[in-house]
């Protein structure tokens, strides 16, 4: 845990273990820029809930790099007087070096995604990240099976995780949270998401660590509730907030042909993002 005066940047362990015990989910919102980060921090402070800020490799590159992001998040926490626990987390880190680079820059959590490899290789890579991260108090999430994108939505379940794989990955690496592929995908769904709640429940009962659901966008509310009932403690949301933000900004540009100040254009999406965050948090039973 890194203490910033009264303000805290923490790993996800305490917040997720509490969520697992008390059957609710902590939101992981992906960030894209300063405004996005500010909206999430302000709204979660208002709601008085902990939050995980997820940073994909693409978003990290876009924002300038890991050091820039750590500086920005710490600065916002201090200037906005944020007092809720904030976890700054790498989303789908694809290599050991990327995770190490982010940890060295001050990220408090990483996801190593070696799920495209065979389980044995996934374990080897994940183990190296855990050894490095745990020495610095950083939490680690790993993926088993493979969570794809929209195009994979209606494909067979052959990329889904099994209890045995999850147990092996956990026992041999001692990761802090696990993201088993159980039918969710990133981005939009073609048709209804087909989540394997039975395996989810089994994994949750047999592993002491929290379960993560990727691809939170587009899953109907009743299935989100069912996922939480079956042991999901962290739900990742990205596309959803992008969609509500861009709808608002598009409307602003269409209705106001004289606007040119980027602050007015970008910020026209603020209320839509904050409103959606409130709805999501209520659904997740976080507050
Ligand atoms: P969505 O874009 O589908 O919400 O998925 C986000 C995600 O899982 C990030 O890891």
CB of 239 within 6 A of ligand 1: the answer is yes
Q: Is 261 a catalytic residue?
A: no
Q: What's the structural domain count of the chain?
A: 1
Place of tokens 């940047």: 9
Ligand 1 centroid – CA 256 distance (Å): 32
Residue 159 has a pLDDT of 85
Q: Give me the torsion for CA of 239, 240, 245, 251, rounded to 10°.
A: 100
* Residue 185 or 282, more confident: 282
Asked whether the predicted pLDDT for residue 2 surpasses 70, the reply is no
Structural domain includes residue 269? yes
For residues 92 and 113, the answer to whether their CB atoms sit within 8 Å is yes
Q: Is residue 287 part of a domain?
A: no
Tens digit of pLDDT for each residue in 62-116? 999 999 999 999 999 999 999 999 999 999 999 999 999 999 999 999 999 999 9
pLDDT digits (tens, 9 = 90+) for 188-226: 888 889 999 999 999 999 999 999 999 999 999 999 999
Residue 86 maps to a domain: yes
> Would you say residue 154 has pLDDT above 70?
no
Q: Which of 238, 241, 280 to mutate to test the pocket of ligand 1 (most atoms within 8 A of CB)?
A: 238
Asked whether the beta carbons of 268 and 249 are under 8 A apart, the reply is yes
Residue 193 dihedral angles phi and psi, to the nearest 5°: -65, 140
| DSSP secondary structure letter of residue 268 | T
Q: Using pLDDT thresholds of 50, 70 and 90, give the confidence band for residue 146.
A: confident
Q: How far does the centroid of ligand 1 lie from the alpha carbon of residue 215, in Å?
A: 4
Residues 111-122 have pLDDT tens digits of: 999 999 999 999
pTM of the model: 0.96
Which pLDDT score, from 0 to 100, does residue 125 have? Answer: 98
The range of the structural domain enclosing residue 54 comes to 2-281
Question: Strand pairing partners for 53?
Answer: 29, 88
pLDDT digits (tens, 9 = 90+) for 21-43: 999 999 999 999 999 999 999 99
Q: Is residue 286 part of a domain?
A: no
CATH number for 118: 3.20.20.70
In a domain, residue 72? The reply is: yes
Phi, psi of 115 (to 5 degrees): -75, -10
């Amino acid at each position: 845990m890194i203490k910033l005066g009264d303000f805290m940047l923490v790993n996800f362990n305490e917040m997720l273990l509490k969520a697992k015990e008390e059957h609710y989910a902590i939101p992981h919102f992906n960030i894209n820029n300063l405004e996005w980060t500010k909206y999430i921090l302000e709204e979660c402070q208002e709601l008085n809930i902990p939050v995980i800020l997820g940073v994909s490799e693409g978003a990290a590159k876009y924002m300038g790099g890991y050091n820039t992001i750590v500086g920005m998040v710490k600065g916002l926490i201090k200037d906005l007087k944020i007092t809720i626990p904030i976890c700054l987390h790498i989303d789908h880190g694809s290599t050991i070096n990327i995770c190490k680079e982010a940890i060295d820059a001050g990220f408090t959590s990483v996801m190593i995604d070696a799920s495209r490899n065979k389980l044995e290789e996934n374990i080897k890579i994940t183990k190296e990240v855990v050894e490095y991260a745990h020495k610095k108090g950083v939490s680690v999430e790993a993926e088993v099976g493979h969570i794809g994108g929209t195009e994979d939505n209606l494909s067979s379940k052959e990329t889904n995780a099994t209890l045995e794989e999850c147990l092996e990955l956990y026992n041999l690496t001692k990761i802090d949270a696990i993201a088993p592929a159980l039918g969710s995908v990133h981005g939009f769904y073609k048709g209804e998401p087909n989540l394997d709640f039975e395996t989810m429940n089994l994994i949750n009962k047999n592993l002491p660590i929290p379960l993560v659901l990727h691809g939170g966008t587009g899953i109907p509310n009743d299935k989100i509730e069912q996922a939480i009932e079956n042991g999901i403690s962290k739900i990742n949301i990205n596309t959803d907030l992008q969609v509500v933000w861009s709808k608002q900004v598009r409307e602003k540009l269409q209705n106001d042909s004289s606007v040119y100040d980027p602050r007015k254009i970008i910020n026209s999406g603020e209320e839509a993002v904050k409103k959606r965050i409130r709805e999501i948090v209520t659904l997740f039973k976080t507050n």
